[in-house]
Structure 1
Amino acid sequence: MIEVEAATKQCFFEDLHKNDQMTVTYQVGGGGHLDIDFWLADPDNMALGKHIKQSTGTVSITAEKDGRHEYCFSNQMSTLADKMVSFNVHGVIYMGEDDAIAPIEREIRALAKGLQAVKDEQEYIVVRERVHRNTAESTNSRVKWWSILQAIVLFSVCAWQIYYLKSFFEVKRVI
């Protein structure tokens, strides 16, 4: 989890070899409108994936060449709000022929991949729960203050009506 300050960007790098696979998943957990810009570029700075003003996203690539791949989270569109971003990077290092891999090793890799998917899903659920809890608390606060305002208006109107009716029934004598 990182905090991307307003009007800044944060970049990260991964050294990949040809045929390596990499997946980046992210979700904005707090700040502003819960959106951020994201892009992933190859060593020649060619964009392999780009998301503009998204709250969640996933980009998967298979490296076509050796080198340092860059992925960035940009909050440059916002001048006030900092963003909290949760992200995961995972991948598969190319190992050559699958025929040479023992069946038990293949099963271990499949289990590891499934375990990673479960872990990613749990992290996603934690972030979504936090966002929903913040929304519910905000709504609760607004309902509370609206109810207090309505009570004040109600008592004010009642006091005014009592005063007005009282003055209506007063006997006014002209001497």
Structure 2
Amino acid sequence: MLGALLVLVAVLAQCALAHTVDLHPNSEHCFFEDMHSGDEMTLTYQVSGGGHLDIDTWIKNPDGQTLFEQIRKDTGSYEFIADKDGRYTYCFSNEFSHVTDKTLSFNVHGVLYLTEDEGLIPAERELRDLANNIQMFKDEQQYLVMRERIHRNTAESTNSRVKWWSIMQTMLIVATCGFQIYFVKR
């Protein structure tokens, strides 16, 4: 029983993977997960930079049928339970953009399915729920960090533009005053 508990904790600790990918214009990145019937998988993603912060996303089962698809969205989440054994594919596409690179962060996490017959005791169930809640908290934290980064970049860009506009206005006022003084003295 203790061995099963340690295996469950080790599996849950390794189920969470965070990735950051740069999607170039007219490009697509696909990833694969080999799953067994009954395994759970959750995919969450967030575009944190580039253009209108939008990409295309889809997930396909081993037969090539589309399980999930979002077109030109900046964030998304999809959770599913595998209905058959095989390789599940999830792709991110920036093919509709011809100019702008996009920065994408995504998380893939899952839970191996254990039935009551396989010895899932209440403590293991509580551990699984706790691990899922921790992962949701981690995903939310990562989302907030990315949003803060986007807003900070926007604020710094606006600050730079205001600074240069103010310098340009000051130079224009000094030049106008100099011209007026020259014109009046003449």
Q: Which residue in the other structure is 2:24 paired with?
A: 5
CA deviation string 1:150-172 (max 9, x = no partner): 112211221222233333xxxxx
Structure possessing the higher radius of gyration over alpha carbons? 1
SS at match of 1:12: strand
Q: Take 1:85 and 1:93, find their aligned partners in 2: how far apart are those partners?
A: 26
The 1:155–1:82 alpha-carbon spacing in structure 2 relative to 1, beyond 3 Å, is same
Q: Structure 1, unaligned stretches of length 5 or more?
A: 168-175
Assess if the C-alpha contact under 8 Å between 2:59 and 2:89 holds in 1.
yes
Written as runs of structure 1 = structure 2, the 5 A alignment for 1:20-31 is: 20-31=39-50
Assess if the C-alpha contact under 8 Å between 2:53 and 2:74 holds in 1.
yes
What root-mean-square deviation, in Å, do the aligned CA atoms of Structure 1 and Structure 2 show? 1.7
* Identity over aligned pairs, percent: 54
SS at match of 2:140: helix
Q: What TM-score does the superposition give when structure 2 sets the normalisation length?
A: 0.82
Written as runs of structure 1 = structure 2, the 5 A alignment for 1:85-124 is: 85-97=104-116, 100-124=119-143
Pair 1:14 & 2:28 matched: no
Q: Which residue in the other structure is 2:100 paired with?
A: 81
Q: Which residue in the other structure is 1:149 paired with?
A: 168
Question: Which residue, 152, 157, 164 being the options, matches 1:133?
Answer: 152
The 1:150–1:98 alpha-carbon spacing in structure 2 relative to 1, beyond 3 Å, is farther
Q: Which residue in the other structure is 2:57 paired with?
A: 38
Q: Structure 2, unaligned stretches of length 5 or more?
A: 1-19
The 1:63–1:79 alpha-carbon spacing in structure 2 relative to 1, beyond 3 Å, is same
Pair 1:161 & 2:180 matched: yes
How many residues were matched structurally? 167
Q: Which moved more, 1:9-18 or 1:156-165?
A: 156-165
Once the two structures are TM-superposed, the CA of residue 100 in structure 1 deviates from its matched residue by 4.1
Question: Which residue, 49, 68, 78 being the options, matches 2:68?
Answer: 49
Once the two structures are TM-superposed, the CA of residue 80 in structure 1 deviates from its matched residue by 2.4
Q: Take 1:93 and 1:72, find their aligned partners in 2: how far apart are those partners?
A: 22
Q: Take 1:105 and 1:97, find their aligned partners in 2: how far apart are those partners?
A: 11
Return the letter of the residue paired with 2:126: E
